[in-house]
Structure 1
């Protein structure tokens, strides 16, 4: 093997103290702990979506400016994911996870105190930087400790965290805003992230091995893989049709469809329950029929439901509000399982630290900005129709994926 592909703080990959992969049941506690960290990590970023009507009113910003908030945050998030390999190779994945949780708390508390849009933009970049350290290290930790045949289950639990966050976030806003300010809500969530990081420091297990910094030799090998670009395209579609869509959905329901703020956030939170349940089932679905088929089916169904979400009349709107997240929530366990199979084991964390940030900055950053622009100049409904149409091409990308023939477990 080429030495350039094995890099960490001071030793080669073969000298890592890697865990012995075990069945999912034996590591379920750690997987759920990681999912809890991811839940808080996600909510810290996307609680802004249901808060956006209140922020628009207080800060006097337009739909386009509101959408751009998520673009700035995604830039920091993606930069951190790309550089996470450098950090985890010098610390360990465990320490990177702790640093992420604590830093997210500090950054979110800072956002809660800021009073101008000009100050909030760089603070959101810092929040994204802190949050972006989680996924590469969590993915490497889970695939190292869990047997390959159970990856779908582990990914299913971990990937259910964002969909659960999409449930809790709007419901929290509906219940608490009016009792406390949106700034106080951010401060409370920031404190929770700090406490979670400290709890993982004392009670969390797993990830006690360094990551691999993305050296040029490893990057050259990755970017030459057609499947690398295919999986990025699939994730862009899924993120743009789920998280990206969610960022402006409260504005769509309130300003374009005329729903009351409290009612809109309540319905939005309840609608995301279907996405949470389907995320848990998504890992089983991908293990059952294979990632390629699962991703194809889910993107076609998700694309169709996204289109109908943009054009449905009032009597059908509630149906598609519940159906669309159910379909898209099931995508990510199979998506991360597929991502883990397109390159050899020693490049797995490098692939995640490069592919996910590229997809995220487009799907959860550029897409919300475009949604906001189209919502201001035309309509949010048109934006959803265009996004759904793009997702219908998903099977062309999914079936072209090529997996490593002899996949390996461990780190």
Structure 2
């Protein structure tokens, strides 16, 4: 009991401190989270990532539930967030990768990526749908729930399947059309895109679009063995760890399965491979081991980078291991202690853990990223209470989508 109390206190502290990124550190006009913050400095611009906004909504739920924020203040923040999202330019209902946090205007990601980003939109909808379910039994929130519904149902998923309906496509621009020409194919972080697209109230895709497009008619299977772990899906060694938690902040992987995999097995195996890789430490990096493991997309000394066991430059993001808490609790708890006290608390700041560090060279980021801070709060909460899983899996769109694609889950029984 004493150990459990200590653990609960520790997780409370981490969630509350990390929620500061989305509360005290949020944009003063829209209350949406900045894409990134540098500790000790003002935000350098008004940039908000749409995925970060989705995690911001999930973080707001946890903050309300845990008493980190007063309910009235939280609903006021939600009103400002929705107001900005409502006036944001959308493209067949989908949002762009980045928006301006002051006025909601689209900010191009690259020269030709200046329109819709369907996967980023998916993670925003994950937050919106979870919030809608959280407010379902709260009086006085009917208007907010209707506003959320308008944003969710506005996405024309079928448009992004183009004419052949063999896959969904990631990007579309009114200036450049389908020039990026990127299919959303797995295995990666985008399973949820197909679930929401299949369960949409309007403009839903057909099941074949998932099976041929994302699952690639079974081509996303792996079946290889890495560190004595048989990996059901994805690239060798599993790829970056965000594959295991971006879609699964809301989707409950426990007992979730289709003809390609059981998804709790997939995610646990993925995390175990990362843990075993760090313990093996084939490149001989300093500090890799039971307390220091997990490779994902994060800030590096040379900019944003996507790390994995097959692309390892020695940059560790605390979010990678911490967001794996529901999968490998004992291993993650070792990491919490390591990160918290590394070099006298160097990784611990006003917004929780810094985004990343390189123990081999001694470099540590001074930044935090919304897309990394968010999963820390969400996956800790799912480990503790399953709250976000329960909310999201209760949404009608999610239930319809899973059934349409042939999934089974205890939530569907």
TM-score, normalised to structure 1's length? Answer: 0.25
**The structure with more strand, counted as a fraction of residues:** 2
Give TM-score scaled by structure 2 length: 0.25
- Which of the pair has the greater relative contact order for Cα pairs under 8 Å at 6+ separation? 1
Larger helix share, 1 or 2: 1
